[in-house]
Structure 1
Amino acid sequence: MTLKLFGNLISTNTQRVAVVAREAGVPYELVEVNFLQAENKTPEFVKHNPFGLIPYIRDEDGFELYESRAICRYIAALDRAAGPTLVPTERKADSLFEQAVSSEQSHFDPLATELAKEKIILPRRGFPPSEARISELVKQMRATLAVYDAILEKQKYLAGDDITLADLFHLSYGAVLVQSGLGLIEERPNVHRWWKDISSRPAWLAVQSDYNARFGQ
């Protein structure tokens, strides 16, 4: 029996958990939830995640957990995790890690989410994006990535010289940013170097391969 991941690889949050599981060397079984048909809103699903969102996990002992970043922390801390240490244990290193994680959740993810909506999701659904909104989001994202660039000029990864969850948390929406064609990651040399590093890791390539095999891209 392995860890079960209830989600869908279309979902950036599901991808976030999948890449961390692969990076940590924790086998998982993806149990696909068709959220486009609102399977995540059914009474049965809501028993496991009361917010009706994907993903959630069920471990071998029946333990269940939702919220992708919490799931990633849980996976990284498992005794059976065989990959690199993704959460530092030394006090100062852990504090810098928490700082980087907070930066991703506060300053990167909200902007990337909105840019994905305007540049990709709305056009796919036949709705025109707001160019004014895109312009403002790009301005804010450039400011965030300027800070990242300064950090990454001094160290290899966002929390230091070792990869952590803070870096991996950026992969799913970072890929969306690249897909948007705005060139935001590419225009910052240190951010671009960091992105090429993390996005070429075997764990992320495996998740992308699974996505392409499922959705034919």
Structure 2
Amino acid sequence: MVIKLYGSPLSTCTRRVALVLKEKDVPYELVAVDLTKNEHKDGAFLANQPFGQVPFIVEEDGFQLFESRAIGRYIALKYAGRGNKIVPDTADLKKTALFEQAASIELTNFDPFASGIAFEKVIKPRKGLGETDSKVVANLLQVLNAKLDAYEIILSKTKYLAGNEITLADLFHLPYGSMLGVMGIDVLLSEKRPNVARWWRDITSRPSWQAVKDGA
């Protein structure tokens, strides 16, 4: 039982899936896709991922799935009895609702701003799409800081975003959150938000993230 993970070792979304696979102790084979050669845009790749994005997975029975968060949910549910528990029991409606709330927070109140900053400062110049727009970065950072003030309120009441047990909602922050630190934007470790900093140190220290932070 080995899942094939098609993606770029350093891509944020590929590492997001690899992180979940490590948490659940599920073996996988990385099938490297060279983004610099636009391999994700050729016909063979598009036949499996019509949006031309990484990653996607293929299981031994031929089942395929793309979108990193969807893959993460699938792996966590399919292998519920393995590795670490990272989603609540589906029978517990309230815990499931809090998890979905936290997952929505990551998707709508964190990712657009963290990934937007990464695009401007790293991806845009690297791909020759123009110079970094410092005004765009400043605006995104201003909004992100305001969002993290709300995170501080949530995390002053519970250890993690969905309660006192870690979930995918926390783990999904790791790829782009870590990119912020690499870019010298240490908003997740600000002394002004001690609970956010405590949470961030906690999730970044997990063995699963340490195993994939430098490559899936």
TM-score interval (norm. to shorter): over 0.9
Change in 2 beyond 3 A, CA 1:123/1:202 = same
Q: Kindly provide the amino acid, as one letter, of the partner of residue 178 in structure 1.
A: G
Give the structure 2 partner of residue 189 of structure 1: 194
Q: Secondary structure at the match of 2:31?
A: strand
In structure 1, what is the equivalent of residue 43 of structure 2? 43
Letter in 2 for 1:184: V
Give, in angstroms, the shift of residue 183 of structure 1. Answer: 2.1
Partners in 2 of 1:209 and 1:35 — Cα distance? 17
Equivalent residues of 1:155, 1:161 under 8 A apart: yes
> Which structure 2 residues correspond to residues 102-121 of structure 1 after superposition, within 5 A?
102-121=104-123
CA 1:52–1:81: 2 relative to 1, 3 Å: farther
Matched, 1:24 2:27: no
Residues 137-152 of structure 1: pairs in structure 2 closer than 5 A: 137-152=140-155
What is the letter of the counterpart of residue 73 of structure 2?
Answer: R
Consecutive unaligned residues in structure 2, runs of 5 or more: none
Matched residue, 1:6 = 6
Cα displacement (A) at 1:113: 0.9
Match in the other structure for 2:60: 60
- Partners of 2:124 and 2:115 in 1: how far apart? 12
Distance in 2, Cα, partners of 1:202 & 1:79: 18
Q: Is the 8 A contact 1:75 1:81 kept in 2?
A: no
Identity of aligned residues (%): 49
**Bigger shift: 149-158 or 118-127?**
118-127
Q: C-alpha displacement at 1:117, in angstroms?
A: 1.5
8 Å contact from structure 2 (residues 175, 213) kept in 1: no
Pick the aligned partner of 2:208 from 191, 199, 203: 203
Unpaired segments ≥5 residues, structure 1: 212-217
Shift of 1:34: 0.7
Task: Please say if residues 24 and 79 of structure 2, whose CA atoms lie closer than 8 Å, have aligned partners that are also in contact.
Answer: no
Which residue pairs with 2:172 in the alignment? 169
**Which residue of 90, 94, 97 corresponds with 2:96?**
94
CA distance in 2, matches of 1:64, 1:27: 16
Whether the 8 Å contact between 1:19 and 1:203 is mirrored in structure 2 is: yes
Query: TM-score, with normalisation over the residues of structure 1?
Result: 0.92
State the distance in 2 between where 1:26 and 1:80 align: 11
AA matched with 1:152: L
Which residue identity does 2:196 align to in structure 1?
Answer: V
Q: Could you tell me which amino acid in structure 2 is paired with residue 16 of structure 1?
A: R
CA distance in 2, matches of 1:58, 1:121: 27
Structure 2 residue identity aligned to 1:3 = I
| RMSD of aligned Cα (Å) | 1.5
1:122-161 map, 5 Å:
122-124=124-126, 127-161=130-164
Cα distance change on mapping 1:115 and 1:7 into 2, 3 Å: same
